[in-house]
Structure 1
Amino acid sequence: MKKEVKDTIIAELGAKLKEFPHFYLVDLAGLNAEATSNLRRKCFKNDIKMIVVKNTLLREAFQASDIDFEPLYGALKGTTAVMFAHTANVPAKLLKEYAKEGVPALKGAYAEETIFGADQLEALVAIKSKNEVIAEIVALLQSPAKNVISALQSGANTIHGVLKTLGERPE
């Protein structure tokens, strides 16, 4: 491979590292062509960009980055695919579907500005996306307000009933 081509690939990987806040390093060894094609389709449906890369070129892209990815250097062995995503837990959930088969296997990940190892798939699945956290906060904020409104409405009906009864009572 010519140096110009390598430099172009490294620049493209660097751009992907800046564009996507989360990425997973995955070992695709053991997947046949059909299984790899199915995985790519699932990645596309889940808005995940999957690229098979040479480990040395990915290491150079890591080194050119502003972020220290040195703990992930040990994972750069064998066949490596990078799954780029905007939501931290989506690739983890996809990999968990394949966990029974053991392929593809997680090598490492960078999610929510933290580096995760190959044995931390469950922790990655448990990460909540920004939208999930916002939905939980809104639900928590709505719950007390709904209780107050419900109490006021039931109290209003009770007071109305008492006043109506007192008004209808003969003197």
Structure 2
Amino acid sequence: MPNAKVLSEKQAIVAQLTEKIQNATAGVLVDYKGITVEEDTALRKECRENDVHYAVVKNTLLRFAFNNTGLSELDDLLNGTTSLALCSDPVAPARVMADYAKKLNGKFEIKGGFMDGKPVDLDTINSLASIPPLPILQAQVLGTMLAPITGLAVVLKQIAEKNGAPAEAAEEAPAAE
């Protein structure tokens, strides 16, 4: 039986883990067995750049935290070496971990994860990982919105030039009412 001090420290860790899991929109469980210190340092740097909280966690403590948050279905994944990536962005932890798993090819393996308080399988995590980052998505939407306007401007310029007026003169001419 562990002494009271050790037990209270572990309970505090479980409480912190529970709070982090509840506040996170998504999380990914990873088996990190076999990665080097340099690879781990690079992964942690990439996680910081993407606002992903990454930590190596004892399976027993994580099991208690998952049970506290209603994610007990993930208990089966808690064997071997386990690390947890959490974030408020539902796509970021999946993308960072999947990219890293591809780079390390076998040394770093995604076990599973959760999103919005529900467990998700490996296929869902890989699907999330294939979604581009938010700034790229915003640029694509903006480009899609501007395309018709740009096309209209090009057509109007060509019509004005076809009618014999240079484009600059057509722009300066008052609109007929």
* Shared fold per TM-score greater than 0.5: yes
Report the Cα offset of residue 107 of structure 1.
0.6
Partner of 1:52: 56
Partner of 2:138: 134
Could you list the runs of 5+ residues in structure 1 that have no partner in the other structure? 165-171
Secondary structure of the equivalent of 1:2? Answer: helix
Report the Cα offset of residue 45 of structure 1.
3.0
User: For 1:83-112, what per-residue CA distance to the aligned partner results, in whole angstroms no more than 9, with x for missing partners?
Assistant: 112333333343334335312210112246
Secondary structure of the equivalent of 2:163? Answer: helix
Question: What is the distance in 1 between the residues matched to 2:163 and 2:119?
Answer: 60
Report the Cα offset of residue 23 of structure 1.
1.1
Partner of 1:157: 161
Question: What is the distance in 2 between the residues matched to 1:134 and 1:146?
Answer: 18
Are residue 96 (structure 1) and residue 118 (structure 2) matched?
no
Give yes or no for contact 2:29–2:83 (8 Å, CA) kept in 1.
yes
> What amino acid maps onto 2:90 in structure 1?
A
Give yes or no for contact 1:47–1:85 (8 Å, CA) kept in 2.
yes
Give yes or no for contact 2:18–2:68 (8 Å, CA) kept in 1.
yes
Question: What is the distance in 1 between the residues matched to 2:164 and 2:68?
Answer: 72
User: Following superposition of structure 1 onto structure 2, how do residues 57-76 of structure 1 map, counting pairs within 5 Å?
Assistant: 57-65=61-69, 68-76=70-78
Secondary structure of the equivalent of 1:98? Answer: helix
Give yes or no for contact 2:57–2:83 (8 Å, CA) kept in 1.
yes
Residues 96 and 137 of structure 1: is their aligned pair in 2 closer, same or farther, counting only changes over 3 Å?
Answer: same
Q: Which moved more, 1:129-138 or 1:146-155?
A: 129-138
Partner of 1:13: 17
Report the Cα offset of residue 116 of structure 1.
2.8
Residues 23 and 76 of structure 1: is their aligned pair in 2 closer, same or farther, counting only changes over 3 Å?
Answer: same
Could you list the runs of 5+ residues in structure 2 that have no partner in the other structure? 171-177
Aligned sequence identity (%): 26
Are residue 116 (structure 1) and residue 123 (structure 2) matched?
no
- Report the RMSD for the aligned CA atoms in angstroms: 2.9
> What amino acid maps onto 1:10 in structure 2?
V
